[in-house]
Amino acid sequence: MLILQNIAKHYGGRTLFDSLNVTIGTGERIGLVGPNGSGKTTLLEILAGHLEPDGGSRSLSRDMTIGYLLQDVPKFTGRSVLDETLAGHERLAGLEEELRALERALEREEDTRALARLSEEHGAKEHAYQELGGYQLDAKAKKILGGLGFQDEDLDRPTEEFSGGWLMRAALAKLLLMEPGLLLLDEPTNYLDLPSVVWLESYLAAFPGSLVLVSHDRELLRRLPNQIWDVEDCTIVPYSGNYDFYLKAKALREEGLEARRKAEARFLEKETRFIERFRYKNTKAKAVQSRIKRLDKMEFAGDRRTEKRVVFRLPEAPPSARVQVELRAIGHAYGEQVVYESIDWMMERGERVAFVGPNGAGKTTLLKIIGGELEPTSGERALGRGVKLGMFSQHQTEALDLDATILEEVQRVLPTGNQERARSMLGRFLFSKEDVFKKISVLSGGEKARVALAKILASPPNVLLLDEPTSHLDIASREVLEDALSDFDGSIIVISHDREFLSRLADRIVEITAGTLREFMGTYDEYKAVQDAGGLAVRDTNASGGGISAREESERGEEPGLSKKEEKRLAAERRNALYRKRKPVADKIEAIEAEIEKLTAEIEALEHKMADPAHYETPEFAKTLSEYKRKKTVVTSKTARWEDLAERLEAIERDAEPGGA
């Protein structure tokens, strides 16, 4: 059992906890929730004994062992991954060393009595070693490491060869192997891929000890805890049940508190009126003093605290061709490591695609090829007419200029560097007033992610490429981002280990394994249900190997029996015919695109004008509003015309393809 009594913790002038009292008993499973900066990590550090509180006491049962996973990347050196994982069992490691020493002594000893004594001691220690699971420890460590994504060939590699994310996995494996009485996990899924998250959930469900979990993964909070602790107003409000129960119970509690606040406000107003009215009347002095004393003793619910949340909506997606992305025979390799050999894939307007699969399978590589950040080793990437990509990667924050201010960073990507527009955009991401002049270097991970997202919106895309977009975002911010993306009328390709995020957004799943793409047409929940049932209704999108049949040759438009010269002549005629058909349509499309771009700039100028409160007071406002509505109508009309022409151009190009109608 672990008990915190009257805990207080302050940072500068800010109070995180005041008179906090909590108890963690045997077998309890607690989910710790609250906005970023509310004190969740601080509480874990106090529970673990890593941080001394400013007041209060911490007491721990003598037999209680604690394992704590920090968010900081560990510094492992001098051991292999497997040895580092095993090193967490200090008692077993000590027993093993003692057993080896006794065995060496037995080999040297010749005295019968001494041999008997050494044999007895060896037997006792061997029994203790066996009772602690020493002989199964190696196999168990390998199983845990495998579940967290390590391959067999990784286990003997030095830890120095691995990235920070993989070292975090090794640290987690080390803790899980220890099986402490109390396991404290601070965002354990941050560096995991989706298969490893699912495995960890299954492992923790069978974990016999107590668990305190800080996570923004709502599925973990639904499935693992039997109580939720909400860090709120310098204390903890406990709720019995999982995350769904907590949401309902908290909503009811807020309703009750709001009703109490209103009743208290009415009572306070009534008592104050009485006191003010009769304060100076001798006949009422006793009654006035009685009311003043009663008010002083009363505890009020207080003003309702509202958490600031990111509130934004994505801009309307510019029009584009029906087929937005097409990959043809794409191959890619990093040196001798081949990621893809020959894959074909395409995406149409309005689709919401999720790339899933283990780390190292090539998800990010494929996303970078689509985004144009990575040139494939072979094959061709083609974007449809009018396609504008917006890419947010999990390393996007690292590309920010640490010496720049927030305002400067966003202004750089605006066509004219317009400060007013940049500040307006940043305001939607909770950067207002003097905040915009903060240096990037002093921002938290979540704040940097918001700056990177704001930069994407500076040039409205119609295809969003998102690689782990929810990293560093708390649950409230994730939900707002989900809402914005759900309302977005463009296309999305996303990589995420947040299962709820995928469930809300994706309607097409691409499973990537060992350079192979397999597709499931449906939501992530439907995909998981089919997987859990032991099957997967997928379509292999990889280019097929082998030769081409005569029938396939015919369908591809190759006419057998013609000379090479004749084939070239016919091909040239087809190209010329296609050019004559498509040029007038393409010219009209380009002209309309230029008109839409010009009108959009004019509309933005009118929006900035109307955003000025002083403009409302002038006679010009009605004229500005009328002009704004007229231009919006014209843009809508021209966009519809653009879409018709784009469809016609696609039909012309489709009919010209081999096998086309």
CATH, residue 207 = 3.40.50.300
Looking at the fold, whether 475 and 604 belong to one and the same domain comes out as no
Number of domains in the chain: 4
Percentage of residues in the chain having pLDDT higher than 70: 87
Tell whether 257 is covered by a domain. no
**In this structure, is residue 88 part of a structural domain?**
no
Q: Are 512 and 452 found together in one domain?
A: yes
Are 505 and 640 found together in one domain? no
Domain stop point among 194, 209, 243: 243
The answer, yes or no, to whether residue 330 has pLDDT greater than 80, is: yes
Q: Residue 576: pLDDT above 80?
A: no
Angstrom CA distances, 55 to 17, 18, 41, 484, 640, stand at 10, 9, 18, 43, 67
Which residues are registered as beta bridge partners of 508? 353
Is residue 392 over pLDDT 80?
Answer: yes
| Cα–Cα nearest to 326, from 278, 383, 272 | 383
Is there a single domain that holds both residue 226 and residue 332?
no
381, pLDDT greater than 90: yes
Distance CA 142, CA 152 (A): 8
Q: Is 364 within the bounds of a domain?
A: yes
Within-domain flag for 161: no
Calculate ∠ Cα 364-366-370, nearest 5°.
115
**Could you tell me which residue, 535 or 466, shows the higher pLDDT?**
466
- Structural domain including 337 reads 323-545
What 3-state DSSP class applies to 544?
coil
pLDDT band for position 614 (cuts 50, 70, 90): confident
Nearest residue to 453 via CA among 463, 462, 437, 466: 466
Check whether residue 394 and residue 455 sit in a common domain: yes
- Identify whether residues 229 and 284 lie together within a single domain: no
- Which is higher by pLDDT, 562 or 220? 220
**Section 581-607 average pLDDT:** 83
Say whether both 297 and 219 belong to one domain: no
pLDDT per residue as tens digits for the range 259-318: 777 777 787 888 788 777 777 777 777 777 877 777 777 666 555 455 555 556 677 888
Show the CA angle centred on residue 59, arms to residues 57 and 62, nearest 5°.
160
pLDDT for residue 656: 67
Residue 286 lies in a domain: yes
Residue whose entry in the numeric block shows the structure tokens 């923790």: 204
Please check whether residue 109 lies inside any domain of the structure: no
Question: Residues 232, 295: one domain?
Answer: no
pLDDT, the chain, mean: 81
**Residue 315 included in any domain:** no
Residues 358 and 228 reside in one and the same domain? no
In a domain, 199, yes or no: yes
Indicate whether 537 and 595 sit together in one domain: no
Query: 357 and 484: one domain?
Result: yes
* pLDDT tops 60 at residue 536: no
What is the secondary structure of 14-61 as a DSSP string? EEEEEEEEEEE-TT-EEEEE--TTSSHHHHHHHHHTSS--SEEEEEE-
Sheet with 516-520, edge to edge strand ranges: 389-392, 463-467, 491-495, 352-356, 508-513, 516-520, 539-540
What digits encode the pLDDT tens for the residues 415-448?
A: 665 677 788 778 777 787 788 899 998 887 777 8
The CATH number for 604's domain is 1.10.287
Token pair recorded at residue 318: 């510019």
Residues 464-519 have pLDDT tens digits of 999 988 877 778 778 878 888 888 889 999 999 899 999 989 999 999 988 899 98
Residue ranges of alpha helices (H) inside 216-346 are 218-223, 243-278, 285-297
Query: Which pLDDT value is given to residue 466?
Result: 92
